[in-house]
Structure 1
Amino acid sequence: MSHLIENGLIMLAIVFSVNVIYVSLLTVRTIFTLKGKRYIAATVGVFEITFYTIGLGLVLENLDQIQNLIAYALGFGTGVISGMKIEEKLAIGYITVNIISSNPDIPFTQTLREKGYGVTSWYAYGMEGDRLAIQVLTPRKYELMLYNTIKEIDPKAFIIAYEPRQIFGGFWVKKVRGSKLRREEEKIQSE
């Protein structure tokens, strides 16, 4: 290992790569922690701290080499981006989407239910008249598919999305958990 570290470019690549891995794991561990997945978070944390210690040790052993510190910092920034991309792919948890349709006569609720979404809707009155207010809960991995469906149904719909912290009872506990939505996703991917 000391022979590899003596080569400056290899050292920079190692420091950069170790920090990308460390920060990616940090991001993923944080997400698992926030989602209440404590054992997965703890397991990821073991690898995270191992990479952190290795990377920091390499930089501290060679503090006279400013390029190592730069590689460490660039690896940190790249790791943040990498960790966010991994989190997007994992898409853990659920998303709640509130939709306001400017046309209450569109069969919005029925169309979304046919596609497998859990939907609650009610009539509302906005600044410019009657509206249809809709609330949809879906696994995060189907979020983009839901947005595309909403835009197909009503391109002028107003959409607000957020992540719920707790879910109890209702349609989701028994039914959806993705079965109809998986079939819908497979149908879209095969087109």
Structure 2
Amino acid sequence: MLENAYIMVAIILIINVVYVSLYTLRMILTLKGRQYIAAFISMFEIVVYVIGLGLVLDNLDQIQNIVAYALGFGIGVVVGSKIEEKLALGYITVNVISTDPNLEFTRKLRDKGYGVTSWFAYGMDGDRLAMQILTPRKYELKLYETIKTIDPKAFIISYEPKQINGGFWVKQVRKGILGKKNKPVEYKPEE
């Protein structure tokens, strides 16, 4: 079966797509602090890598194998990134500056279950409402849509926090409340 050049190219391509996808996923999991899952994935990753590289090194005189290996590497980066995008691991912090300093904006977001800290600000053209919102990445696009519906002119910037500690909202998210209902998340003091 490995005698056929087309089959060899296909196998090398698929092996490298799988290898680099696993590699990308492992790196992302490591960066997100999920080292045990990353270590488990790395066991499969290295087996796939050794098999794929072995096939190429055994057939270095076949340029199509090297091309398949390189092409599989590039495709694997894209596939791995798409997998991570679908998993949407972690949280994002979204800073919003609204042109309308009305606190109704904050209430509407809280009614959707988002944790919002807000304060009044002053911009070049007058009063503003500044907000900081923490949300799981899987709700990121939904949050942007909600913000744009409330204030299409809102300035939005987001980033991924490195560490999160404390706050009642984080406990509510871990319990799975956000996204299940459109009721406000009630504050429950720590006991």
TM exceeds 0.5?
yes
State whether residues 117 and 176 of structure 1, in contact with CA within 8 Å, keep that contact through their aligned partners in structure 2.
no
Corresponding residue to 1:180 among 172, 178, 181:
178
Q: For residues 59-98 of structure 1, what are the structure 2 equivalents within 5 Å?
A: 59-98=56-95
Unaligned runs of 5+ in 2: 183-191
CA distance in structure 1 between the aligned counterparts of 2:66 and 2:98, rounded to whole angstroms? 52
AA in 2 matched with 1:91: A
Could you report, residue by residue, the CA deviation over 1:115-166 in whole angstroms, capped at 9, with x for unpaired residues?
0000000010111111110100001111111111111111111111111011
User: What is the rounded CA distance, in whole Å, between the counterparts of 2:144 and 2:36 in structure 1?
Assistant: 33
Aligned CA distance change for structure 1 residues 38 and 180 (closer, same or farther; 3 Å) = closer
Offset, 1:173:
3.3
List aligned pairs for 1:1-150, cutoff 5 A.
Answer: 4-105=1-102, 107-150=104-147
Contact 1:116 1:176 in 2 (8 A): no
Kept after mapping to 1: 8 A contact 2:113/2:181: no
Provide the aligned length of Structure 1 versus Structure 2: 181
- The aligned residue for residue 171 of structure 1 is 168
Relative to the length of structure 1, the TM-score reads 0.91
The letter of the residue matching 1:181 is G
Query: What root-mean-square deviation, in Å, do the aligned CA atoms of Structure 1 and Structure 2 show?
Result: 1.1
- With normalisation by structure 2, the TM-score equals 0.91
On the 8 A contact 1:23/1:79 being kept in 2, the answer is: yes
**Segments ≥4 residues shifted beyond 3 Å:** none
Identity %: 69
TM-aligned CA deviation for residue 59 of structure 1:
0.5
Q: Deviations over 1:163-191 (max 9, x none)?
A: 1011111123332334132335xxxxxxx
Which stretches in structure 1 are left out of the alignment for 5+ residues? 185-191
Query: Which of 154, 157, 161 in structure 1 is aligned with 2:158?
Result: 161
Q: In 2, distance between residues paired with 1:10 and 1:183?
A: 51
Question: Displacement, 1:106?
Answer: 6.1
Which structure: greater helix fraction? 1
CA contact (8 A) 1:101 1:131 kept: yes
**SS where residue 30 of structure 1 aligns?**
helix
> Higher mean Cα deviation, 13-22 or 164-173?
164-173
Per the alignment, residue 187 of structure 1 pairs with: none
User: What SS does the aligned partner of 1:12 have?
Assistant: helix
